[in-house]
Chain A
Amino acid sequence: MSKARWRRLRFAGLAVYVVVALLGATACGSDDDNEGSAGGGTTTGEAAASTEIPGLGSTIDEIKQKAKEEGQVSLVQWAGYAQLTKEFAKETGCKVSTKDGATSDDMISLIGTGQYDGVSASGNASVRLMERGDVAPVNTDLIPNYADVQEGIKNKDYNSKDGQPYGVPHGRGPNVLAWRTDVVKPAPDSWGVIWDPNTPYKGKISIYDDSIFIADAALYLKATKPDLGIDSPYQLNDEQFNASIDLLKGLAPNVGEWWGDYAKQIQSYANKDVVIGTTWPYQVNTLKADKKPVEGVKPKEGTTGWSDTWMIYSKAKHPNCMYLWMNHMISPAAQAAVAESFGEAPVNLKACALTKNKNHCNQFHASDESWWKDIYYWTTPTADCGGKGGTCKTQKDWVNAWTEIRG
């Protein structure tokens, strides 16, 4: 082959390279545009409290009819939340698929992929989702069961904005202290047993692997170090924040396992790899059902907890099925099923008549507000201390500190 020919070949290669690069650049450019408009959702979310979602029926009958055409709904959920999905599919024609999120941050990034129609958001996700414009306000007239939801849980700052509901309440519960009864004696009633640097359970402690756990340290300091003046464990000034971080850094070497995956934690408790720690009632129930000697309690200092909300993605592909799903999840039957299996209090008290354990609502104090007053629902830390004035550490500070605590 001649030299000239080679040169031509090389030139051709270069030409293709340039063309492809240019194509790539324009493709990137247009992608950026899309992202820009999605990012601008913050403003649209604020301006429009409109509950209109493209394709959503305007009456309940229309929603039911359109849902049959959609035929499916996909959800981001806390493990075990979606209940009676077969019955729901039979009744509405919407097949349910779920994806578990391990943390609220996880759920926010999952919803951000645009693959899902809705999410069971805790308070520390819901406020951010509303602010980002990722979730849409809902028209509760189209959700008949909404009337049965306890009034005390409606229109809170974590499930509504400017008086406009964003989604329907799902249920609430405490994060509990759980231990193996065959190892941990006597039965603890205080978080002190895990925070004590000389705890006898060194290396056997199980801790939730998310920055929101900083609040659990703050909550313990609130009870044990009143000088710090901690009010809400989620709104911490510099001094309070640093004290909490110090407490956590003392805990870190004693931690046997940081858990995000609930299945992993269940396995560790079952195998005695951990014997005490923080968990959801769901894991305690699962372990007990499996005849493992595990017990859980709300300690005397109070605890962190959650009040969750089913929210609809603002660009949901199956909005009609999602509306029916929100209605389904606050129906007495679904509420009874999830309250019992996850270990939480229903928001629709009609569920109390349907639980297998007739005493469930009493045990979880579903209508006893005084029991809930020392349970601090997850919420997002903000610079303005949740509107109370002063300067507090932000969500970003919490996340960065968490990496450092984990070491």
Chain B
Amino acid sequence: MTSAAHAEPSPRQSLGRRLSTFFYRHPWVGVAALLAVPLGWLVGGYFGSLFVLLLASLWDTDPFTSEVVHNYTFDNFRRIFEEDVYREVAWRTIRMAALVTIADAVLAFPIAYYLARIASPRTRNLLVVAVLMPLWVSYLVKAFAWRTILSDSGVVNWALDPFGLSFDGYSSVGLWLVFTYLWLPFMILPLYAGLERIPHSLFEASADLGARSLRTFLRVTFPLAFPALVAGSIFTFSLTLGDYIAPDLITSQQFIGTVIYDQRGTNLPVAAAFTLVPIGVMVMYLLVARRLKAFEAL
């Protein structure tokens, strides 16, 4: 044992040495110092702002100046639950989020499958870059580009015109296309990771037992990739649910995001109350996703 020698206090210890001794003797201080910043961020920055949001949803505004008045009232919630328009907007948005998620899943699965199981390492690298490339461009630029593409004099209608067809791009269908495009990489990446993780031996075993490709896909590949699919859907669903820029640029319909955006300035409490709707939807979605083991696939 050399501890006796160490316990001998040396006359001149450097500050760093003394600090390190202090942390060694009091391990909990070290842990506390380590956790203080991330915990502070989580509690103060994250839960704090959620709490303020909840509080703000109970405030009132001055009917003339639109200033926030700190009177507590449930009026904002009553408005959101009683007036049809808020319910319609919420359903419209949830429906859009679901349809975008389905479209992205259908598009992403073959791409991710090809990436993970078929492509040569070289092609795979190139394709991963190609999938990630759109993320290097500002989201706003992409949405504006789609606005031009879907315009009456845009490339879509230009291509349809010779066949005597036309497409109303500034509609929910147009917006669905835009969202599907925008969030596709967020579905491909988790799916690709999930498919790649499936051990090759399982496919061999399936083949040895006489299963053909369809059966292997249905009984082995898909069930094992499903949590990754749900993980990807968390992104596509939540990103659609909260977005306000694309709906504003592409359609004249209101969505949860645009309603909140329009009210944030002079009707803050109603905006705050309405914000709790997508938060509630997402909490439920995440609970279901956890059941489906999506978090293990992230």
Give per-residue flags for B150-184: 1 if the beta carbon is below 8 A from chain A beta carbons, else 0. Answer: 01111000000000000010100000000000000
Question: Quick check: is A371 within 8 A (CB to CB) of the other chain?
Answer: no
B278 to chain A, nearest CB (A): 16
| Contacts between chains A and B (CB distance < 8 A), count | 123
**Which A residue's beta carbon lies closest to that of B83?**
A404
Using a CB-CB cutoff of 8 Å, which residues 38-62 of chain B contact chain A?
Answer: 39-40, 43-44, 48, 52, 61-62
Shortest C-beta distance, B61 to chain A (Å), equals: 6
Chain A residue with Cβ nearest B40: A20
Q: Which of B35, B48, B86, B266 has the most CB of A within 10 A?
A: B266
Q: How far is the CB of B28 from chain A (nearest CB, A)?
A: 4
Q: Would you give the 0/1 interface string for B62-73, flagging 1 where the beta carbon is closer than 8 Å to chain A?
A: 111111100000
In the complex, whether A21 has a CB less than 8 A from a CB of chain B is: yes
Given contacts A20-B39, A383-B63, A394-B63, contact A271 B154 (CB under 8 A): yes
CB of B31 closer than 8 Å to a CB of A? yes
Closest to A209 in B: B262
Select B266's contact among A108, A255, A268, beta carbons within 8 Å: A108
A20 near B36 (CB under 8 angstroms)? yes
Contact pick for A108, options B48, B63, B265, CB 8 Å: B265
- In this complex, which of B52, B152, B264 has the most chain A Cβ atoms within 10 angstroms of its Cβ? B152
Instruction: Please determine whether B32 and A15 come into contact, CB atoms closer than 8 angstroms.
Output: yes
Interface centre among B36, B67, B151 (most CB of A within 10 A): B67
A131 at the interface (CB under 8 A from B): yes
User: CA–CA, A100 to B243, complex, Å?
Assistant: 22
Whether A403 pairs with B31 at a CB distance below 8 angstroms is no
Q: Are B32 and A106 in contact (CB under 8 A)?
A: no
Are A273 and B39 touching (Cβ within 8 A)?
no
Q: Given the known A-B contacts A21-B43, A407-B88, are A39 and B263 also in contact in the complex, defined by CB atoms under 8 Å? A: no
Segment 1-23 of A: residues with Cβ below 8 Å from B: 5, 8-9, 11-13, 15-17, 20-21, 23
Determine if B267 and A396 form an interchain contact, defined as CB atoms under 8 angstroms apart: yes
Q: Decide if A396 touches B28 in the complex (CB within 8 Å).
A: no
Given contacts A13-B35, A382-B64, contact A271 B153 (CB under 8 A): yes
Write out, one digit per residue, whether chain A residues 242-279 have a CB within 8 A of any chain B CB (1) or not (0): 00000000000001111010001001100111000000
Contact in complex: A42, B65 (CB < 8 Å) = yes
Question: Is A59 part of the contact surface with B, judged by Cβ < 8 Å?
Answer: no
Q: Is the CB of A272 within 8 A of B44?
A: no
CA distance A386 to B210 in the complex (A): 84
Q: Report whether A132 and B35 are in contact in the complex, using a CB–CB cutoff of 8 Å.
A: no
- Measured as residues with beta carbon below 8 angstroms from the partner, the interface class of chain A is 35 or more
A369-399 interface bits toward B, Cβ cutoff 8 Å, 1 = contact, 0 = none: 0000000000010110000000000111101
Chain B residue numbers with a CB within 8 Å of A15 are 32
Q: How far is the CA of A8 from the CA of B259 in the complex (A)?
A: 48
When distances are taken between beta carbons in the complex, the residues of chain A under 8 Å from B67 are 39, 42, 132
Q: How large is the interface on B (under 10, 10 to 19, 20 to 34, 35 or more residues)?
A: 35 or more
A161 → chain B closest CB, angstroms = 13
Residues of the A chain whose Cβ atoms lie less than 8 Å from the Cβ of B252 = 255-258
Report the minimum CB–CB distance from A174 to chain B (whole Å): 24
Taking CB atoms, residues of chain A closer than 8 Å to B148 are 267, 271
Give bound CA distance, A395 to B263, whole Å: 13
Q: Which B residues from 125 to 154 make CB contacts under 8 A with A?
A: 147-148, 151-154
Q: Contact check, A131 vs B64: say whether CB atoms are below 8 A apart.
A: yes
Q: Is B61's CB under 8 angstroms from A267's CB?
A: no
A34 interface residue per 8 A CB criterion: no
CA distance A67 to B198 in the complex (A): 68
Q: Which residues of B101-118 have CB atoms within 8 Å of chain A's CB atoms?
A: none
What 0/1 readout, one digit per residue, does chain B (263-276) give for beta carbons within 8 Å of chain A?
A: 11111001000000
- Tell yes or no: A28 within 8 A of B by CB: yes
B290 at the A/B interface (Cβ < 8 Å)? no
Which residues of chain B are within 8 angstroms of A42 by Cβ–Cβ distance?
A: 65, 67
**Residue numbers in B under 8 Å from A273 (CB-CB):** 151-153, 170
CB pair B63 A16 closer than 8 Å = no
Q: Of the candidates B64, B88, B151, which one forms a contact with A383 in the assembled complex, judged by CB atoms under 8 Å apart? A: B64
> Is the CB of A27 closer than 8 A to any CB of chain B?
yes
B249 at the interface (CB under 8 A from A): yes
> Does residue A365 face the partner (Cβ distance < 8 Å to B)?
no
Q: Please, which residues of chain A bring their CB within 8 A of the CB of B263?
A: 399, 403
In contact, A8 and B264 (Cβ under 8 angstroms): no
CB pair B265–A106 under 8 Å, yes or no, is: yes
Instruction: Choose from B31, B44, B248 the contact partner of A23 (Cβ within 8 Å).
Output: B44
Contact partner, B64, options A8, A395, A400, A404, Cβ 8 Å: A395
- A407 adjacent to B28 (CB under 8 Å): no
5 A-B residue pairs with Cβ-Cβ distance under 8 Å, sorted by A, are: A24-B43, A260-B248, A271-B152, A399-B66, A400-B79
Beyond the given A256-B170, A260-B248, could you list 5 further A-B residue pairs with CB under 8 A, ordered by the A residue number?
A23-B40, A39-B67, A132-B65, A273-B151, A383-B64
- The interface of chain A, by Cβ under 8 A from chain B, is 5, 8-9, 11-13, 15-17, 20-21, 23-24, 27-28, 39, 42, 105-106, 108-109, 128, 131-132, 203, 209, 255-258, 260, 264, 267-268, 271-273, 380, 382-383, 394-397, 399-400, 402-404, 406-407
